[in-house]
Amino acid sequence: MTGGNSIQFGRTLELVYRAALAAVDPGQTVRDSLSLDDEVLRAGDRTYPLREFRRVFLAGAGKAAVPMAGAVEQILGDRLTSGLVVVKYGHGGVLDRTRVLEAGHPEPDENGVAAASRILEFLDRNLTPQDLLLVLISGGGSALTPCPVPGITLSDKQAATSVLLNSGATIHEINAIRKHLSRFKGGRLLRHTHGAQVVSLLLSDVVGDDLSSIASGPTVPDPTRFQDCLGILRQYGIRTAVPGPVLRYLQEGAAGGVDAPRETPKENDPAFVKVQNRVVGSNILALKAAAAEARRLGFAPLILSSSIYGNTEDVAKVHVGIAREVLRSSLPVAPPCCIISGGETTVRVTGSGKGGRNQEFALWCAREMESWGDEPVLIASIGSDGNDGPTDAAGAWATPETARRSRSLGLDPESYLSDNDSYHYFEKLGDLIVTGPTQTNVMDLRFILVGK
């Protein structure tokens, strides 16, 4: 691809990505879903006359908790009594009535344990059946609120999470186990609301917008059981890899049956009668906005899906195959075009390198396109939160000349793939996408740009 095409595609990619992020701005999604008129709070199609409540409180967790809480403060003003939220390091801010705590993500840490405990204590201390609680949940909320059940330590939970992340387990499977090891997740937050009315606003970062998986569903019935957790460990062959206390706790819970006190709350639990759970923003909103911007820029847009998941290598090869078909037959859309997808893939980690699923996706694309020649194609994968794995990059981009250019510099794509070292590969090429924290999180955004 010529230098001129690279510049044009780079500018187009930046603009469509920014349009996608603007559509899922956390504060705006809250303002679009929550309003106050004549002392009546409206959340979607439900109304809550504030005169019927003694006080209004706020609690939240996730990367987007600060802008979401800021929007609630703007809407409610002095009708909000106080609030408490926990965010990832570097995602904080100063709010008028809400205290902000910071903790570790994606690996939970002691600050997360302290923050989760403080939120539960905050609810226990303040809430009565005459109060209203607004809960703000966004991506990362699960890792930010590690609140282990008795008998499980943070190090046990950290080790179990690490094993799960490296096993190739899906986010739904990881969250099933997290919920059963937590006093906070899987609907258990409601054990501390003491009959208060709960309105939970969720910014979805999971495939299919499954309420029970967004931040492990602290205010949502948990459809999974202890038996499911043991099945996940068997499926990925990691029963002996997780800490002994974790395995024993799950086994003891499964032995207790579906009605055991240790089991997470299910849909028929009376605690859910006074709960409204509402998704305020999701991946598909971002994809639609990106498509509209691509059309404005002269590229025919096509949205594949907002629910693509699976092995990163396989998903990358499918996207490369689609780009090849566009070049050959102008199907499923004629160039110049922008093909867009969303979701969240998984990487099975076998090496000791540094990277994330978006960078790994781009590296697989680079390898697959190496023999194409100078075709006008750019493929990119970018995390909507600005963070891809344990790196400072949001993702990376690749063209048919990426792998050839790297070989001329002595960089072998195969060796970097085998070591899961996509970050250093693209860092040396200058093809990382670095945005900094975006303070939103609706999974990943992938783009195929094809010119004429």
Break the chain into its structural domains and give their ranges.
3-19+284-450, 26-147+182-224+264-281
Percent share of the chain, pLDDT over 70: 98
- Is residue 118 pLDDT above 70, yes or no? yes
In whole numbers, what is the pLDDT of the chain averaged over residues?
94
Between CA 217 and CA 138 the distance in angstroms is 10
Amino acid identity at 104 = G
- Is residue 339 pLDDT above 70, yes or no? yes
pLDDT at 1: 47
Q: What is the pLDDT of residues 394-432, one digit of tens each?
A: 999 999 999 999 999 999 999 999 999 999 999 999 999
Q: What is the pLDDT of residues 233-287, one digit of tens each?
A: 999 999 999 999 999 999 999 998 655 678 999 999 999 999 999 999 999 999 9
Confidence category of residue 106, pLDDT binned at 50, 70, 90: confident
Whole-angstrom Cα Rg for the chain: 23
Q: What is 26-147+182-224+264-281's CATH topology?
A: Rossmann fold (3.40.50)
Instruction: Name the pairing type of β-strands 56-61 and 132-137.
Output: parallel
More confident residue, 5 or 441: 441
Coil vs helix vs strand at 16 = helix
Confidence category of residue 28, pLDDT binned at 50, 70, 90: very high
pLDDT at 259: 59
Coil vs helix vs strand at 92 = coil
pLDDT at 8: 78
Cβ neighbors of 228 (< 8 A, separation 6 or more) are 176
CATH of domain 3-19+284-450: 3.40.1480.10
pLDDT at 174: 86
**Residues, the chain:** 452
Alpha-helical segments (H) within 97-243: 110-126, 141-144, 154-167, 171-180, 226-235
Between 1-5, 55-59, 381-385, the lowest mean confidence (pLDDT) is in: 1-5
- Is residue 155 pLDDT above 70, yes or no? yes
Q: What is the pLDDT of residues 48-67, one digit of tens each?
A: 999 999 999 999 999 999 99
Instruction: Name the pairing type of β-strands 34-37 and 40-43.
Output: antiparallel
The model's pTM:
0.90
Q: What is the pLDDT of residues 177-229, one digit of tens each?
A: 989 999 999 999 999 999 999 999 999 998 889 999 899 999 999 999 999 99
Confidence category of residue 301, pLDDT binned at 50, 70, 90: very high
The average pLDDT across 108-132 equals 97
The average pLDDT across 300-316 equals 96
Q: Which helix (H) or strand (E) holds 72?
A: helix 65-76
Alpha-helical segments (H) within 236-310: 244-255, 283-296
The average pLDDT across 27-45 equals 96
Packed helices 226-235 and 244-255: angle between N→C axes, nearest 10 degrees: 130
pLDDT at 169: 87
Domain pair 3-19+284-450 / 26-147+182-224+264-281, same fold: no
Q: How far is CA 407 from the centre of its chain?
A: 34
